[in-house]
Chains A and B, each alone.
Chain A
Amino acid sequence: EIVMTQSPATLSVSPGERATLSCRASQSVSSNLAWYQQKPGQAPRLLIYGASTRATGIPARFSGSGSGTEFTLTISSLQSEDFAVYYCQQYNNWPHSFGQGTKLEIK
């Protein structure tokens, strides 16, 4: 099974600043990587798929990059509604696997 490792576990950023979240795969997953956002008490929401394609309705301040084993989710100019937990997920190999999450909190 491919192990997905996210860093940092917690990221403290001020509103209006940029946040950079990392996700590393234990072996190559090509570009078969998705990012999800989860707020307390809510279901996850798809943000990015194919490593860099924004899902429908996702603001342009969210961007994804990377391929192979190293991936990044960047949120430019953080808004109050962006503070949440973010998960990466690989869908290149079975079974699909998630990272453990990065909590983005207000500094």
Chain B
Amino acid sequence: QVQLVESGGGVVQPGGSLRLSCAASGFTFSSYGMHWVRQAPGKGLEWVAFIRYDGSNKYYADSVKGRFTISRDNSKNTLYLQMNSLRAEDTAVYYCAKDFTIFGVVPYYFDYWGQGTLVTVSS
């Protein structure tokens, strides 16, 4: 069965950096695009970033563009999110999610989600 397990969350000061990881199993990781989606405490869902199955294309929400970098290592079945210049408003649970479409060239919707990792930006 598909499993996505996030790690790397924690407490960081404003302006700091953090790298999240998402270990994938149960499907051919290298065939699917992957997303990061976040949810601030008590709030709704916000899509953050997408990376194509081969890593050749990346998309970012305006709110994180220039500060966050999505990447993947298909040899390790792992997705990453490097977060720099963190702000209080980045505090959220970060979910990695699998895109539905195999070999998709553009992002669609999310058919599997991890359980999330909490990032808290606070001094």
Does the CB pair B95–A95 fall under 8 Å? no
Binds B, one of A15-23, A64-72, A75-83, A98-106: A98-106
Interface residue B103 (Cβ < 8 Å from any Cβ of A): no
Binds A, one of B40-48, B66-74, B75-83, B84-92: B40-48
Q: How far is the CA of A100 from the CA of B107 in the complex (A)?
A: 21
Does the CB pair A98–B46 fall under 8 Å? yes
Interface residue B27 (Cβ < 8 Å from any Cβ of A): no
Output the least CB separation between A98 and chain B (Å). Answer: 5
CB-CB under 8 A from B11, the residues of chain A are none
On chain B, the number of residues with a Cβ less than 8 Å from chain A's Cβ atoms is: 20
Interface string of B86-120 (1 = CB under 8 A from A): 00000000010000100000111111111110000
With A49-B109, A91-B107, A95-B62 known as contacts, the answer to whether A43 contacts B115 (CB < 8 A) is yes
Interface residue A61 (Cβ < 8 Å from any Cβ of B): no
Closest to A97 in B: B47
CB-CB under 8 A from A42, the residues of chain B are 115
On chain A, the number of residues with a Cβ less than 8 Å from chain B's Cβ atoms is: 22
Q: How far is the CA of A44 from the CA of B112 in the complex (A)?
A: 9
Interface string of A1-32 (1 = CB under 8 A from B): 00000000000000000000000000000001
Q: How far is the CA of A34 from the CA of B46 in the complex (A)?
A: 14
Output the least CB separation between A68 and chain B (Å). Answer: 18
Q: How far is the CA of A46 from the CA of B100 in the complex (A)?
A: 10
CB-CB under 8 A from A44, the residues of chain B are 45, 95, 110, 113
**Can you name 8 A-B residue pairings with CB atoms under 8 Å?**
A32-B108, A43-B114, A46-B100, A49-B100, A87-B44, A91-B108, A95-B59, A95-B62
